[in-house]
Chain A
Amino acid sequence: MPDPLRPIPHRRFDALIIGAGGAGLNAALRLASADLRVAVVSKVFPTRSHTVAAQGGVNAALANVLPDDWHWHMFDTVKGSDYLGDQDAIEYMCREAIPTVYELEHAGVPFSRIDDGRIYQRAFGGQSQNFGGDQAARTCAAADRTGHAILHTLYQQNVRARTHFFDEYFAIDLIRDEEGAILGALVLEIETGETLVIEAKATLLATGGHGQVFRTTTNAFINTGDGMAMALRAGVPLMDMEFYQFHPTGVAGKGMLITEGARGEGGYLINGDGERFMERYAPRALDLASRDVVARSMVTEIREGRGCGPNKDHVMLRLDHLGADVVHRRLPGITDICRVFLGIDPAEQPIPVFPTAHYAMGGIPTDRFARVVAPARHGPEEIVPGLYAAGECACVSVHGANRLGGNSLLDILVFGRAAGTDILQYVAENPNHRPMRDADIEPALTRLGRWDRSGEGESVAAAKADLRKLMEDHCGVFRDDATMAEGVEKLKALRQRVEHVRLKDQSRTFNTARIEALELDNLVDVGMATLMSALHRQESRGAHSRVDYPERDDEQWMKHSLYARDGDRMDYKPVRTKPLTVESFPPKARVY
């Protein structure tokens, strides 16, 4: 609770951006370059945002290596989305991809080049020429550190443009007035534990993903879905949360990705009996069957008691038959990971693996201008005044039920910038800050104050571990009605339990435990959104695959899910199948 003698300080900006990954920084740059007063809040130093981890690259139909066209890129993205992506947003993104990459090049991102000096482009899965024809080469990369290069370039440019950074400040909640307009946010300085109200005419959520809700994930510890949970608490539903991308082979118990390349080179999976089990599930494609088939087969083996290790909770990936030369030379990254984290040489010993949670297709619903839209009086897509979202926390939706590699860096850049452009106009039309009353701040303070209660209770770490295990067991790659319904009941019980979690350390300064408690709240909310959405979608589409409903059902389910926190309610809205200027791509069976 606020101390009446020490009122909470307020700072005013034209725009507040929560999150300093690629999405947040690209929006900030647009605004600061136009001389707006911009605040960027980030819980870690900006260049430690998760965008730094993206190695593969960013897609754009530059046609530098093979023929290409933005329209082919659009086709691949719609098809990849399993027809759940909104085609207006997808058209916009694929067209904008080209100037976006050139803009980055001019800003100084050191893209790898071909001999004539143009940007080099590599081929990734899901890229085609001529609407499903030959393989295309569409991914631009700065060696194997594209995310790092983009993030650093954008950060430097923002510093030059005088963006105001609040580094190591944690956003607690949005502040909303009686009419539902967003007025800014309550934030906490991690070092001092002091709170601050940032008032803004427009607020952008760019807080990234939430892989930490699953036990095994490729995502860094910071990816706790804070922005999504803030939106939920501000009355905004989350969209298509059941669609979460898993990679079949992560290091068991740790999460790091063992790339598909390992199986491409001839690596194969074995169960606890030493059996090459993919022979039973995919007799022809074997270990190179599609990701969801491999992942589900692995988990089925484990569920049926044929896992490896003392707890029988993983399977093994064998590379030892390939010879040290092939393994070390062609798979150096995997060799390093195995040496450092497992103390093994993958050319000699098998790697313990388990499906790892990687990327969120769902998130905060927005239109293609990055404006947050929610069902209200006049329809399913009413604009929430003053609120924007972009990047992995948002759902535009360009990825629909499944994201293509290289499309998410593109998404964060294109829609980060679109947010900046629209905010410029919004602030021009709404030049004054709306009044903020103490009562508007109250809910955010109450949430923070709840963690001041001391006394005996279980720890944040224990509750978080249980949550992550629960999500992995009940809403991972193996999904059916019974498993998920049980998961919902368990999660409801856990949500109750979290009410009784207590913090031992009540100090104000550098209290990381307090931040982790706030993150736990967020993970629980995002977890419930995921489980509820997955339980209710009775079909298999893209990354959401159910053993009890193995087919895609366009008749009933070509629609977006919306989960509202109030009463754990589900609602739905239609997919936008009409592009901006071209013909719509109608749903077709997905065969690759």
Chain B
Amino acid sequence: MRLTDAPAAEIVAQAARLRWQCRRGMLELDLLLNRFLEVGFADLDEASRADFVRLLGYQDQIIHDWLMGQAVPADAALRRLVAAIRAAMRDDRANP
């Protein structure tokens, strides 16, 4: 998988660019998205990183409903991503 992937430095640069996109109007989203950017983003393959960018393009209220488990995205790739973001928050609790 990594063969077709971007070099690590480029991923770090991409994460830096996305950091501001993870600043949202709701504290819940700030906590979940920033946490994921720190611990989960670098492990994503290129397609999933593109999905993350796509997720960030949705309205706060919609992302909130997905991440809080009040609604489920129709798109399977976003569903997987939402599960990964929620899981990253759980890891945070294990190693604060």
Contacts and interface: CB of A to CB of B under 8 A. Distances in A.
B60 A47 contact: yes
B37 to A, nearest CB: 11
A220 B23 CA distance: 8
Contacts, number: 82
Given A148-B59, A148-B60, A512 B27 contact: no
A145 B61 contact: yes
Contacts of A50: 25-26
B4 interface: no
Interface string B61-75: 100000111100000
Chain A interface size band reads 20 to 34
A44 B90 CA distance: 27
Most A CB atoms within 10 A — which of B26, B30, B31, B32? Answer: B26
B17 interface: yes
B93 A256 contact: no
A190 interface: yes
B53 interface: no
B23 A340 contact: no
Nearest to B90: A343
A341 interface: yes
B68 A220 contact: no
Nearest to A48: B25
A217 B16 CA distance: 25
A51 B31 contact: no
Contacts of B89: 340-341
B43 interface: no
Most A CB atoms within 10 A — which of B32, B61, B70, B86? Answer: B61
Interface string A124-166: 0000000000000000000001001001100000000000000
A65 interface: no
Contact of B25 (A49, A190, A256, A336): A49
Contact of A44 (B16, B23, B31): B23
A480 to B, nearest CB: 29
B20 A255 contact: no
Nearest to B93: A343
B6 to A, nearest CB: 17
A256 B27 contact: yes
A15 B26 CA distance: 28
Given A51-B25, A340-B67, A512 B86 contact: no
Nearest to B85: A340
A255 B16 CA distance: 25
A168 B69 contact: no
B28 interface: yes
A254 B31 contact: yes
A47 B19 CA distance: 17
B24 interface: yes
Nearest to B91: A343
B10 to A, nearest CB: 13
Contacts of A48: 23-25, 60
Contacts of A151: 25
B31 A512 contact: no
A221 B35 CA distance: 13
A254 B28 CA distance: 9
Interface in A368-421: none
Most B CB atoms within 10 A — which of A52, A190, A342? Answer: A52
Interface string A33-70: 00000000001100111111100000000000000000
Contacts of B16: 510, 512
Contacts of A337: 28, 68
Contacts of B69: 336, 339-340
28 contacts: A44-B25, A47-B59, A48-B23, A49-B25, A50-B26, A52-B25, A52-B26, A52-B61, A53-B60, A148-B60, A168-B20, A218-B27, A220-B26, A220-B27, A221-B23, A221-B30, A221-B34, A255-B27, A336-B68, A340-B28, A341-B89, A341-B93, A343-B93, A510-B16, A510-B19, A510-B20, A512-B19, A512-B20
Minimum-distance CB pairs A-B, first 6? A52-B25, A148-B61, A221-B30, A53-B26, A336-B68, A48-B25
